[in-house]
């Protein structure tokens, strides 16, 4: 019976054939690494964000009068509202972490090199979009914590000469935080950013599929890394089929992600929802210690430590540009980072510096 | 090679830009000021006329400690500023201490109860009926609010205010002790409930309603204490215990809810960890 | 054999996970947010003369019914919106006063002065013939 139904559709659509064709043409290199599946976990994390975000949207009221109470009612009154809200809040933070780990693995394997520069750039832009997602979503609960974190963060660009004040005013919709700021952030978070993210994601995945999964430089038979002059898809005739070999490992990575998500919710429920998040925003009362959100702590601490703010911001912008266009700054053929002590040391010190600044900024 | 070049670019930027960055000292303060004192950071009354004068050396040294003391107080934490009690206009230095602006200055000891009672109405009423209040009214000598609570560095009251050192200033501790014993259990319960509410908050659980009904109850209980009437306190203790029991039950419900949530997410975590393990085993198993 | 067993395991776990997310979702989607319905209270109009008031407890909330000289009957929660003390009716000054920090409300429940920022919660009240019905 079941086979008959499937067969009826197969004759008319040919989905099975399409899938078979797609999977057969897609093969992973023989030495494919488990770290190459982190990207799949990030994709799953994003899908969870879309799903839980939609759930929250059903009960959230985007105005300063009701924003806080509606979020509190999701947490307290609506059955299992707390589950979807904490999943969204903790998942948002974990998405940023997962994307960072994905990029680190791509960086260490040198997978951003010719012919995958554009994949890296699209990925970098996806990362910045996610930061904006987190930044805009953070204001929406309109709690004392969120309000003042956003106040601080939106004040940062104002130290740029000429354009700075303008950027702050655009972010806040005027010189001060107001009801319009909430509208603006809400619109960004639920309508503009998802659209941008989706386009970038489609492009990113299209490129991955088109060029083929990269081969890490550590195995016995590294991929031919000489720069391409003509388009060629990596077929890896002696490699593993993507299904089931790669997909099973990807599914494992997604399970790791979900486990970490729910373990965090179980054991550290207050980590991303500290005390200030259950107090309604009061624009007339600054809490004792105001800091931006955790992912902005490192740049914020840098601003605090270096006396010239314009200089610090310029460095940060340059570093951002450098990060997005990294494949063009690093055009060497050698893909194994262990054979390049200078690059290895440099990237390690940047990561350490970032961590130190974040922890320093936290306390 | 190219990333070395790009580093060079940064180095040049550093060389060009660091010249105006001479003054490192006090930078932290300027930073805080610039980022927090802008209009969007809210008008805190910290920079008002009262504090400007009272912090500078044009004023008598005994008055100079007042802003610092106030900043450590419970009033400060709850946005009660100089003019809330003393009147006057903190926005304008010239008329800040003008009686026409309702500046009240320092109250004389006998006026202190009315001074504080502007806000603490219920407590004033009960105090005036008490031995303390009547002594102050009839002889002008008697404990007023400040005697026990202090003035600018006022803290949230607790049962520890009834102690030997304070009470024996005027009379034997025996009488105070009887009162302290009458209050003790209810006060301890209030303190315990307060702590549990705080714990709920740190776990991301808002208990606004419970917090308010607890405050309402202990506000009433503490006003009652100010009558200094032990038999009245004892008589009404049961009534307060019943009210506190209701609040305790609601707090307990919230803790139970928290435990339920923890169990749900722990269960989900376990399921996903199990699925991860099974998938790993499948990956390791060869097709037969 | 082992592979088959593992696949069945995975299916069982997968359905459990799916189900234990589907159930919360169904509950979440079907939630209704309305005022909880409580018992109604009724009084005779004559029990509260003009200017007088009566303290009641409605749905666990201490409340007050006031027969306003210039506005008829009103039922307001007595819970001060500042910190939750119970406000008292001041007949001569036609206002409600909080004994804890001197918050003052008018007889519509709106804040006149003091620390509260929100008005007192109004409780629905209907006049049915000679009766005042609350709830």
* CATH number, position A255: 1.20.810.10
**Rounded Cα distance, A193 and A53, in Å:** 13
Range of the domain at B214: 172-259
pLDDT surpassing 60 at residue B229: yes
pLDDT surpassing 90 at residue A258: yes
Q: H/E element holding B142? A: none
The confidence score (pLDDT) of residue B27 equals 54
**Domain tally, chain B:** 1
Taking only the tens place, the pLDDT of each residue in A202-222 is 999 999 988 888 888 876 555
Angle at A85 between CA A83 and CA A91, to 5 degrees: 95
Q: Which of A265, A284, A330 sits opposite B2 (nearest CB)?
A: A330
Per-residue confidence at A132, pLDDT binned at 50, 70, 90? Answer: very high
Taking only the tens place, the pLDDT of each residue in A159-209 is 777 888 888 889 988 878 888 999 999 999 999 999 999 999 999 999 998
Contacts of A77 in chain C (CB under 8 A): 31, 33
* Cα pseudo-dihedral A17, A22, A28, A29, rounded to 10: 100
Residues A64, A117: contact at Cβ < 8 Å?
A: no
Quick check: is A219 in a domain?
no
Per-residue confidence at B39, pLDDT binned at 50, 70, 90? Answer: very low
Chain A interface test: which of C28, C117, C121 (most A C-beta within 10 Å): C28
Contacts of C16 in chain B (CB under 8 A): 271
Angle between helices B230-284 and B208-225 (to 10 degrees): 160
Taking only the tens place, the pLDDT of each residue in B47-82 is 577 887 887 777 777 788 888 888 888 888 887 888
Nearest to A10 by CA among A242, A20, A243, A241: A20
**Rounded Cα distance, C67 and C84, in Å:** 24
Contact C24 A84 (CB under 8 A): yes
**Rounded Cα distance, A107 and A77, in Å:** 45
Per-residue confidence at B128, pLDDT binned at 50, 70, 90? Answer: confident
**Domain tally, chain A:** 1
Distances in whole angstroms, Cα of residue B109 to Cα of each of B116, B152, B258: 12, 15, 50
Percent of chain B with pLDDT over 70: 83
Per-residue confidence at B23, pLDDT binned at 50, 70, 90? Answer: very low
- The structure tokens listed for A145 are 């914590």
Looking at CATH, the fold of the domain delimited by C41-134 is given as Rieske Iron-sulfur Protein (2.102.10)
Quick check: is A337 in a domain?
no
Residue with tokens 């009084």: C43
**Rounded Cα distance, A48 and A91, in Å:** 8
Quick check: is A317 in a domain?
no
Residues C80, C98: contact at Cβ < 8 Å?
A: yes
Q: H/E element holding B179? A: helix B173-202
Phi, psi for B214 (deg, rounded to 5): -65, -45
Angle at C74 between CA C69 and CA C75, to 5 degrees: 140
Phi, psi for B141 (deg, rounded to 5): -115, 115
The confidence score (pLDDT) of residue B30 equals 59
Taking only the tens place, the pLDDT of each residue in C15-70 is 999 999 999 999 999 876 544 555 677 888 888 888 888 888 887 788 888 888 88
Residues C121, C109: contact at Cβ < 8 Å?
A: yes
pLDDT surpassing 80 at residue B41: no
Percent of chain A with pLDDT over 90: 48
The confidence score (pLDDT) of residue B11 equals 66
Contacts of B243 in chain C (CB under 8 A): none
Which of A31-35, A78-82, A109-113 ranks highest by mean pLDDT? Answer: A78-82
- Restricting to C residues 61-80, those with a Cβ less than 8 Å away from any Cβ of B are 79-80
- List the domain boundaries for chain C: 1-33, 41-134
User: What is the rounded average pLDDT of the residues B103-127?
Assistant: 86
Burial B230-251 (b: 16+ CB within 10 A, else e): beebeeebeebeebbeebbeeb
The confidence score (pLDDT) of residue A70 equals 92
Range of the domain at A203: 2-212+234-297
Nearest-Å Rg of the Cα atoms of chain B is 29
Which residues, 6 or more positions from A181, have their beta carbon under 8 angstroms from its beta carbon?
A139, A150, A154, A171, A172, A173, A174
| CA dihedral (B66, B67, B68, B71) positive or negative | positive
Distance from CA of A77 to the nearest CA of C (A): 8
Contacts of A155 in chain B (CB under 8 A): 35, 38, 40
Pairs of residues, one from chain A and one from chain C, whose beta carbons lie less than 8 Å apart: 26
Chain A interface test: which of C21, C23, C31, C119 (most A C-beta within 10 Å): C31
Whole-model pTM over 0.95: no
The residues with which A197 forms a beta bridge, in sequence order, are: none
Q: Which of C3, C10, C85 sits opposite B279 (nearest CB)?
A: C10
pLDDT surpassing 90 at residue A255: yes
Residue with tokens 């974190």: A149
pLDDT surpassing 70 at residue A223: no
The confidence score (pLDDT) of residue A22 equals 78
The confidence score (pLDDT) of residue A324 equals 94
Which residues, 6 or more positions from A252, have their beta carbon under 8 angstroms from its beta carbon?
A34, A37, B276, B279, B280, B283
Check residues C31 and B215 and name the one with the higher pLDDT: B215
- Restricting to C residues 22-51, those with a Cβ less than 8 Å away from any Cβ of B are 24
Provide the 8-state DSSP code for B19. Answer: T
- The structure tokens listed for B152 are 């600018």
Taking only the tens place, the pLDDT of each residue in A300-333 is 888 888 888 888 889 999 999 999 999 998 877 7
Phi-psi group of B94: left, alpha or beta (phi > 0 → left; psi -120 to 50 → alpha; rest → beta): alpha
Contact A82 B272 (CB under 8 A): no
Contact C27 A80 (CB under 8 A): yes
Taking only the tens place, the pLDDT of each residue in B143-175 is 888 888 888 888 888 888 888 888 888 888 888
The confidence score (pLDDT) of residue B10 equals 64
Displacement of CA A288 from its chain's centroid (Å): 30
Quick check: is B244 in a domain?
yes
**Rounded Cα distance, B283 and A312, in Å:** 49
Taking only the tens place, the pLDDT of each residue in A35-92 is 999 999 999 999 999 999 999 999 999 988 889 989 998 998 899 999 999 999 999 9
Chain C interface test: which of A78, A244, A280 (most C C-beta within 10 Å): A78
Quick check: is B77 in a domain?
no
Quick check: is A217 in a domain?
no
The confidence score (pLDDT) of residue B43 equals 38
- ipTM, 2 decimals? 0.89
Residues C50, C69: contact at Cβ < 8 Å?
A: yes
- Write out the DSSP string of C67-84: EETTTEEEEEE-B-TTT-
The confidence score (pLDDT) of residue A30 equals 83
């Amino acid at each position: 019976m079941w086979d008959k139904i499937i067969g009826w559709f197969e004759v008319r659509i040919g989905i099975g054939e399409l899938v078979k064709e797609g999977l057969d043409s897609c093969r992973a290199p023989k030495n494919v690494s488990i770290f190459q599946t982190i990207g799949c976990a990030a994709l799953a994390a994003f899908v969870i964000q879309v799903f839980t975000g939609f759930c929250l949207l059903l009960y959230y009221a985007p105005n300063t009068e009701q924003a806080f109470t509606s979020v509190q009612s999701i947490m307290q009154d609506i059955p299992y509202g707390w589950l979807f809200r904490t999943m969204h809040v903790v998942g948002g933070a974990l998405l940023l972490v997962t994307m960072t780990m994905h990029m680190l693995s791509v960086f260490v394997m040198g997978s951003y090199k010719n012919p995958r520069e554009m994949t890296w750039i699209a990925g970098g832009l996806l990362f910045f979009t996610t930061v904006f997602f987190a930044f805009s979503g953070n204001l929406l609960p309109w709690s004392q914590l969120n309000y003042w974190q956003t106040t601080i963060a939106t004040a940062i660009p104002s130290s740029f000469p000429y354009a700075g004040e303008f950027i702050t005013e655009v972010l806040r919709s005027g010189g001060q935080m107001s009801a319009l700021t909430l509208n603006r952030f809400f619109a960004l978070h639920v309508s503009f950013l998802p659209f941008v993210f989706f386009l970038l994601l489609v492009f990113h995945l299209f490129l991955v599929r088109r060029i083929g999964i990269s081969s890490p430089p550590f195995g016995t038979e590294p991929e031919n890394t000489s720069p391409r002059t003509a388009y060629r898809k990596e077929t890896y005739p002696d490699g593993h089929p993507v299904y089931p070999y790669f997909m099973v490992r990807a599914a494992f990575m997604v399970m790791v992600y979900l486990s970490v998500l729910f373990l965090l919710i179980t054991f550290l429920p207050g980590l991303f929802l500290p005390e200030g998040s259950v107090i309604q925003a009061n624009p007339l009362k600054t809490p004792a210690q105001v800091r931006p959100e955790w992912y902005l702590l490192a740049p914020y601490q840098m601003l605090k430590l270096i006396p010239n703010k314009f200089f610090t911001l310029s460095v940060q912008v340059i570093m951002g540009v450098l990060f997005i266009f990294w494949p063009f700054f690093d055009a060497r053929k050698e893909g194994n980072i262990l054979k390049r002590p200078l690059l290895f040391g440099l990237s390690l010190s940047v990561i350490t510096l970032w961590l130190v600044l974040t922890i320093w900024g936290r306390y | 090679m190219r990333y070395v070049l790009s580093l060079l670019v940064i180095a040049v930027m550093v060389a060009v830009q660091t010249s105006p960055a001479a003054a490192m000292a006090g930078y932290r303060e300027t930073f805080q000021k610039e980022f927090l004192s802008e209009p969007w950071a809210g008008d805190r009354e910290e920079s008002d006329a009262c504090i400007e004068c009272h912090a500078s050396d044009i004023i008598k040294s005994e008055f100079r400690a007042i802003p610092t003391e106030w900043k450590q107080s419970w009033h400060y934490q709850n946005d009660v500023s100089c003019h809330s009690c003393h009147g006057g206009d903190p926005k304008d230095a010239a008329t800040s201490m003008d009686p026409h602006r309702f500046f009240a200055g320092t109250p004389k000891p006998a006026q202190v109860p009315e001074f504080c009672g502007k806000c603490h109405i219920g407590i004033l009423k009960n105090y005036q009926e008490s031995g303390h209040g009547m002594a102050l009214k009839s002889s002008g000598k008697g404990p007023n609010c400040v005697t026990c609570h202090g003035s600018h560095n006022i803290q949230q009251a607790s049962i520890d205010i009834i102690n030997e050192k304070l009470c024996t200033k005027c009379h034997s501790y025996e009488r105070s002790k009887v009162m302290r014993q009458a209050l003790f259990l209810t006060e301890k319960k209030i303190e315990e409930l307060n702590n549990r509410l705080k714990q709920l908050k740190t776990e991301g659980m808002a208990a606004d309603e419970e917090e308010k009904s607890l405050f309402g109850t202990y506000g009433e209980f503490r006003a009652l204490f100010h009558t200094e009437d032990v038999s009245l306190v004892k008589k009404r203790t049961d009534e307060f215990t019943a009210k506190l029991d209701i609040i305790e039950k609601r707090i307990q419900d919230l803790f139970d809810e928290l435990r339920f949530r923890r169990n749900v997410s722990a269960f989900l975590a376990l399921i996903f960890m199990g699925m991860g393990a099974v998938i790993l085993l499948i990956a390791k198993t060869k097709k037969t | 054999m082992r592979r088959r067993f593992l696949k069945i395991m995975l299916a069982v776990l997968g359905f459990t996970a799916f189900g234990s997310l589907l159930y919360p979702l169904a509950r979440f989607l079907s939630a209704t947010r309305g005022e909880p319905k409580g018992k109604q209270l009724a009084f005779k109009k004559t029990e509260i003369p003009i200017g007088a008031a009566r303290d009641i407890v409605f749905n666990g909330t201490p409340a007050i019914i006031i027969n306003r000289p210039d506005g008829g009957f009103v039922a307001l929660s007595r819970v001060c919106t500042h910190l939750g003390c119970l406000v008292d009716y001041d007949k001569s000054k036609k206002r409600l006063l909080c004994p804890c920090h001197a918050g003052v409300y008018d007889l519509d429940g709106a804040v006149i002065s003091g620390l509260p920022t929100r008005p007192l919660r109004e409780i629905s009240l209907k006049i049915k013939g000679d009766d005042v019905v609350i709830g």
